[in-house]
């Protein structure tokens, strides 16, 4: 078996070890934990991989306070199947449910409610971490805080998360009341985010092909949990992409899709399922194949709030002028960041764009990097496959604390990914 990431780039030949209790006695080092491979780039890749996916038992649930105890290989989709019908939902969830709980902690993932609820580590009560020397450390916001702050967002570089207690939120419905707002440019998009900022969930799809006065035109979707008492949940996979598409189909496909949605939508209010609201792309299995056999990457950054408008105007203008952007440009509002050493979110706007891997694309990213840095931004490791060390470290003021932590616990030679070697963490 060879494990890849979601972007199918880079591809590296690897030996896969299933996690077992005595694994570190036999494991060739260095190695890196790997959940469900939904990170886009090389954060879960190396020649030796510790696969956690079979480590997926539910251990207990406290229905008084919503605390779920489970092993780290449990998928968010598995939690939803069991707990939505019982009236519980994830407190923070990313745009796919096919990730492990361990991967959610290691990337300290964010969802459409970051401005209200923060990132995944906010919902973590505690976890047990196995170090390469076999020692097990129990970490929480109060105990072994340095391990907690290094591991949440630490991209698997501090040990293997074995199991965790996370807090679910109670819900009274398996539907979301969604309002969709259409804007004509970035100014209107920012005004709409501001106007609807008290909604728990918000996300905008930006049309990257729009130019001139229409730069930043979007569909903003905001939502709240409904309270109709209906709690049913079923997996909504609609179809599967059977093979890699020829890459020329991509832009035609994506632009048509966005325009179809944009022009058929007025301000609308409707009740939709949790899956349609949170995980629309999960309905299409293997959608990454639309990007062709060379794979894809995602370029995701966050800009400080006060500089976001100007910075995004410039970046979107540059992307539109090249015609390379896909329809999948997703804009979200982040609330305040946390204290973890490498967690990505900081207060401001984050834009995530998918690009197919093609000649010169990395040169283009180098140019975009300069704009992101000029406006004080930073990049998300979970999406990255190419960021140069010098660019990466400028965005993370606590990087030296993380490096010192790894050194102090002799983790540098034992846990490594292709990414950690490249960015020097």
Ligand X SMILES: Cc1cc2nc3c(=O)[nH]c(=O)nc-3n(C[C@H](O)[C@H](O)[C@H](O)COP(=O)(O)OP(=O)(O)OC[C@H]3O[C@@H](n4cnc5c(N)ncnc54)[C@H](O)[C@@H]3O)c2cc1C
Q: Between 99 and 320, name the residue whose CB sits nearer to ligand X.
A: 99
Q: Between 320 and 423, name the residue whose CB sits nearer to ligand X.
A: 423
Which tokens hold the place of 265? Answer: 């939508």
Backbone angles phi, psi at 375, to 5 degrees: -100, 15
Nearest distance, CB of residue 227 and ligand X, angstroms: 25
Nearest distance, CB of residue 69 and ligand X, angstroms: 15
Report residue 101 CA to chain centroid gap.
12
What pairing do the DSSP bridges indicate for beta strands 284-285 and 239-240? parallel
Distance in angstroms between the alpha carbons of the first and the last residue of the chain: 28
Q: Between 37 and 311, name the residue whose CB sits nearer to ligand X.
A: 37
* Radius of gyration over every alpha carbon of the chain, rounded to an integer in angstroms: 21
Nearest distance, CB of residue 160 and ligand X, angstroms: 5
Centre a 10 Å sphere on the Cβ of residue 28 and count the other Cβ atoms it contains.
9
Residue 213, Ramachandran bin (φ over 0: left; ψ between -120 and 50: alpha; else beta): alpha
Nearest distance, CB of residue 203 and ligand X, angstroms: 8
Q: Between 36 and 174, name the residue whose CB sits nearer to ligand X.
A: 36
Backbone angles phi, psi at 85, to 5 degrees: -60, -20
Q: Between 44 and 351, name the residue whose CB sits nearer to ligand X.
A: 44
Nearest distance, CB of residue 87 and ligand X, angstroms: 24
Task: Give me the helix-helix angle, 305-322 and 361-374, nearest 10°.
Answer: 160
H-type alpha helices, 145-279: 145-151, 186-195, 249-263, 274-278
Q: Between 66 and 94, name the residue whose CB sits nearer to ligand X.
A: 94
Nearest distance, CB of residue 64 and ligand X, angstroms: 27
Nearest distance, CB of residue 198 and ligand X, angstroms: 21
Task: With CA atoms as reference, report the closest residue to 344 among 101, 129, 140, 39.
Answer: 39
Nearest distance, CB of residue 266 and ligand X, angstroms: 26
Q: Between 215 and 328, name the residue whose CB sits nearer to ligand X.
A: 328
Q: Between 99 and 221, name the residue whose CB sits nearer to ligand X.
A: 99
Nearest distance, CB of residue 96 and ligand X, angstroms: 4
Nearest distance, CB of residue 111 and ligand X, angstroms: 6
Nearest distance, CB of residue 50 and ligand X, angstroms: 8
Long-range contacts (CB closer than 8 Å, 24 or more residues apart) made by 330-333: 330/95, 330/203, 330/204, 330/205, 330/206, 331/189, 331/203, 331/204, 331/205, 331/206, 331/218, 332/110, 332/112, 332/114, 332/202, 332/203, 332/204, 333/114, 333/115, 333/193, 333/197, 333/202
Task: Please give the full DSSP string across 249-292, using - where no structure is assigned.
Answer: HHHHHHHHHHHHHHHT--SEEEEEEHHHHH-GGGGEETGGGGG-
Q: Between 80 and 99, name the residue whose CB sits nearer to ligand X.
A: 99
Q: Between 291 and 320, name the residue whose CB sits nearer to ligand X.
A: 291
d(CA 226, CA 247): 40
> Is residue 3 within 8 Å of 31, Cβ to Cβ?
no
Q: Between 94 and 216, name the residue whose CB sits nearer to ligand X.
A: 94
Residues found near ligand X in the complex (CB under 6 A): 6, 32-39, 43-44, 52, 72, 94-96, 99-100, 102-103, 106-107, 109-111, 155-156, 160-161, 281, 382, 417
Which uninterrupted H or E stretch holds 374?
A: helix 361-374
């Amino acid at each position: 078996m060879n494990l890849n990431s979601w972007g199918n780039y880079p591809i590296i030949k690897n030996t896969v070890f299933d996690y077992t209790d005595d694994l570190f006695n036999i494991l060739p080092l260095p190695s890196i934990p790997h959940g469900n491979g939904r990170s886009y780039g090389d954060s879960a890749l190396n020649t030796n991989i510790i696969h956690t996916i079979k480590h997926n038992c539910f251990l207990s649930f406290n229905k008084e306070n919503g605390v779920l105890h489970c092993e780290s290989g449990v998928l968010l989709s598995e939690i939803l199947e069991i707990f939505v019908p019982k009236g519980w939902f994830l407190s923070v969830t990313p745009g796919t449910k096919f990730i492990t709980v361990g991967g959610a902690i290691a990337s300290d993932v964010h969802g459409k409610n970051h401005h209200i609820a923060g990132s995944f580590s906010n919902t973590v009560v505690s976890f047990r971490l196995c170090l390469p020397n076999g020692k097990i450390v129990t970490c929480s916001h109060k105990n072994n805080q340095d391990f907690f702050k290094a591991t949440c967002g630490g991209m698997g570089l501090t040990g293997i998360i074995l199991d965790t207690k996370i807090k679910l939120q109670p819900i009274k419905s398996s539907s979301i009341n969604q309002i969709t707002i259409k804007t004509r440019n970035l100014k209107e998009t920012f005004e709409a985010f501001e106007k609807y900022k008290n909604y728990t969930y918000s996300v905008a799809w930006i049309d990257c092909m729009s130019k001139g006065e229409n730069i930043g035109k979007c569909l903003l979707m905001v939502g709240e949990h409904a309270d109709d008492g209906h709690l049913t949940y079923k997996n909504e996979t609609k179809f599967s992409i059977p093979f890699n598409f020829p890459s020329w189909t991509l832009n035609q496909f994506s632009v048509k899709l966005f325009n179809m949605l944009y022009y058929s939508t007025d301000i609308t209010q409707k009740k939709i399922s949790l899956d349609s609201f949170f995980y629309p792309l999960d309905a299409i299995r293997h959608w990454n194949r639309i990007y062709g056999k060379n794979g894809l990457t995602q370029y995701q950054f966050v800009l400080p709030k006060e500089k976001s408008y100007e910075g995004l105007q410039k970046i979107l203008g540059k992307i539109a002028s090249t015609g390379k952007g896909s329809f999948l440009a997703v804009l979200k509002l982040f609330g305040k960041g946390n204290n973890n050493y490498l967690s990505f979110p900081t207060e401001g706007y984050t834009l995530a764009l998918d690009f197919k891997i093609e000649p010169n694309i990395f040169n283009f990213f180098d140019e975009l990097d300069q704009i992101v840095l000029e406006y004080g931004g930073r990049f998300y490791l979970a999406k990255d496959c190419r960021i140069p060390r010098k660019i990466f470290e400028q965005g993370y003021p606590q990087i030296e604390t993380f490096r010192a932590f790894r050194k102090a616990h002799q983790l540098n030679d034992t846990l490594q990914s292709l990414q950690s070697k490249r960015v020097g963490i």
